[in-house]
Chains A and B, each alone.
Chain A
Amino acid sequence: MDAILQAAVNGLVAGAILALPAIGFTAMFAVLRFPNFAVAAFATLGAYGGWMANAWLGWPVVAALLAAFVLAGAAGAVTQRVALDALRPAGPLTVAIAAIAANVILENVLRFAFGNDLLGFDLPLARDVRFGSLRIGPQQIENLILAVAVMAALFAFLAFTRIGKAMRATADNPDLARLKGIEPRRVELLAVFVGAGLCGAGGMLLGLDTSIDPLTGFRIVLSVFAAAVVGGLGSIPGAVAGALLIGLAEELATLAIAPTYKSAIGFVAILLTLSLRPRGLLGERAY
């Protein structure tokens, strides 16, 4: 029982962090209508950006998180403009393939600069907090708070700002949005910036209590896709729900199967969702 509760707590924290890149992936899909497979590199890039701000410049975690967001977001926007935009007339699959190529390039830029070694954040050591038999690391709590804060900021941006609403409008009905004078290219670029930025913030949070290396983002990418598909590709609330579900399922599964199989849970979840309810929990049609 305790083990289950502990796994559930770990799963919720992991799910909240996973939600950031999952939202990023699904938001980019909602506006640009192709799966941006470079999310792994965006997450890794954010992790390194945050690490540089923290370890080199001595920035505190919140400021470093902002750096992670901006660096990954900028990389996403530049990738979109330089490499992907020109391919869009060839169809979404061609763009998706190019995004994988972009992922390889970005990942190797980091490998070139930092090597394959593990890097750790410069954080004060702290003892786990105990609630009865539950153990929670202070870093886990901080990560959870940060992830929730980033999501809250995103929801406020989408709900209350003019450009945020324009983004939702474009995702909802691009033709009507254009008719109403919403410039699609601006909105698309912003969506990529925010989406890739969220991946970056998620990547840094992942690395905070462990370490980072050029494959930090790659390791979670299947879970990110699973969260987005389970929640319904293109739905932001869906991505949050999907991420929490996948986070929980992965941690609970470790009670029964080897922890190394965690990411296979994501694959199974994708297959199940697509077979039973392709539009996911909260998504639109998938045909």
Chain B
Amino acid sequence: MSLLAVEGLRGGYVAADEIVRGASLSVEEGEIVSLIGPNGAGKSTLLKLVAGLLRPSGGRVVLQDRQIAGLPATAIGRLGLSFVPQERNVFAAMTVRENLEMGAYLEPAQARTRIEALFARFPMLADKRRALARTLSGGQRQILAMAMALMTSPRLLLLDEPSAGLSPKAAEELFATIVALNRDGVAILMVEQNALEALTISVRAYVLVVGQVAREGPAAALMADPSVRDLFLGG
């Protein structure tokens, strides 16, 4: 059985305007799965529908046996799914440590040990624990945002364009971090503009076009597919 199973998901920012129009996908335990597609295909919207930031107008979202479509984001968060927004994903005027504390706002008892574990995992964050988040570089900020999401010990991490706005070098480091996290046992579903990089580290991928899954398969196969290459991978 899948860790996450999405079936016929529909929805958008307003009820009258569905951006995601019956998309189905799944994520297995321990996988990295990418969601790629042209601009405006509804990739980020799909993540927000799954994470509970937007309310689906139809379809099913099943996380480990539980139907979660329509639950609020915080309830979904407690069931082991963490969403990392693309922008404004840290508390800029708070310190790194405070950001991590807010990451586990609903589970304050575990906060201390988890912060220590994350500091061990990301020494950069430990070095900057007293720095305000707004002083971090783009890549560091992205790592902090992921670390905040990890504060609830999720089984599945949803990443919305994690490499957006990063330099090629910072993006490369970030992808390495994502791979390392995945080795620790966290499954990852990510939306990426940087499709080639994303496919390189993914097991499987879905191509979303106009709110529906147009292609799916092993990442390597999609990368080799000429039509996909033409569309997203710059030939």
CB within 8 Å of B: which A23-59 residues: none
Check if B53 is an interface residue, CB within 8 A of chain A: yes
State A181–B108 Cα separation when bound (angstroms).
Answer: 12
B90 at the interface (CB under 8 A from A): yes
The answer to whether the Cβ of B77 comes within 8 Å of any Cβ in the partner chain is yes
Q: Interface readout for A152-183 with B: 1 if CB under 8 Å, 0 if not?
A: 00000000001001101101110111111110
Mostly helix, strand, loop or mixed at chain A's interface? helix
**How far apart sit A178 and B106, CA to CA, in the bound complex (Å)?**
11
B101's partner among A165, A171, A178, A179 (CB-CB below 8 A) is A165
Once A and B bind, how many residue pairs between them come within 8 Å at the CB atom? 58
User: What is the minimal beta-carbon distance from B220 to any residue of chain A, in angstroms?
Assistant: 34
Given contacts A162-B108, A173-B88, A175-B88, contact A180 B94 (CB under 8 A): no
A167 CA / B77 CA spacing, docked (Å): 20
Known: A181-B77, A181-B106. A172 touches B83 (CB 8 A): no
B92 x A173 contact (CB < 8 A): yes
Bound-state Cα–Cα, A135 to B1, Å: 81
How many angstroms from the CA of A168 to the CA of B94 in the assembled complex? 8
CA distance A172 to B148 in the complex (A): 16
A165 engages B102 (CB within 8 Å): yes
Q: Closest CB-CB distance, A129 to chain B, in whole Å?
A: 40
Q: B85, A179: Cβ atoms under 8 Å?
A: yes
B102 pairs with A182, CB closer than 8 A? yes
Asked if B74 is at the interface (CB within 8 A of a chain A CB), the reply is yes
B12 contacts partner chain A, Cβ-Cβ < 8 Å? no
- A166 near B105: Cβ-Cβ < 8 Å: yes
Rounded to whole angstroms, the CA-CA distance of A281 and B93 in the bound complex is 15
B91 touches A172 (CB 8 A): yes
Query: Which residues in B have their C-beta under 8 angstroms from that of A181?
Result: 74, 77-78, 105-106
- A165-B98, A173-B88, A175-B88 known; A180 vs B93 contact (CB < 8 Å): no
Cβ contact of A177, chosen from B78, B92, B98, B102, cutoff 8 A: B102
CA–CA, A172 to B98, complex, Å? 12
Instruction: Decide yes or no whether B56 CB sits under 8 A from chain A.
Output: no
Find A176's partner among B77, B78, B91, B106 (CB 8 Å cutoff): B91
Is B73 interfacial (CB 8 A cutoff)?
yes
User: In the complex, what distance in Å separates the CA atom of A180 from the CA atom of B52?
Assistant: 12
In the A-B complex, the 9 residue pairs with the closest CB atoms:
A181-B74, A181-B106, A172-B91, A172-B93, A180-B105, A169-B102, A181-B105, A169-B91, A180-B102
26 pairs of residues in contact across A and B, judged by CB atoms under 8 Å = A162-B105, A165-B94, A165-B98, A165-B102, A168-B94, A169-B91, A169-B105, A171-B93, A172-B91, A173-B88, A173-B92, A175-B85, A176-B85, A176-B89, A176-B90, A177-B91, A179-B53, A179-B74, A179-B83, A179-B85, A180-B74, A180-B103, A180-B105, A181-B105, A181-B106, A182-B102
Residues of A within 8 A of B (CB): 162, 165-166, 168-169, 171-173, 175-182
Q: Given A176-B88, A180-B106, A181-B74, 13 more contacts at CB 8 Å?
A: A165-B94, A165-B98, A165-B102, A168-B91, A169-B91, A169-B94, A169-B105, A172-B92, A172-B94, A173-B90, A176-B89, A178-B74, A180-B105
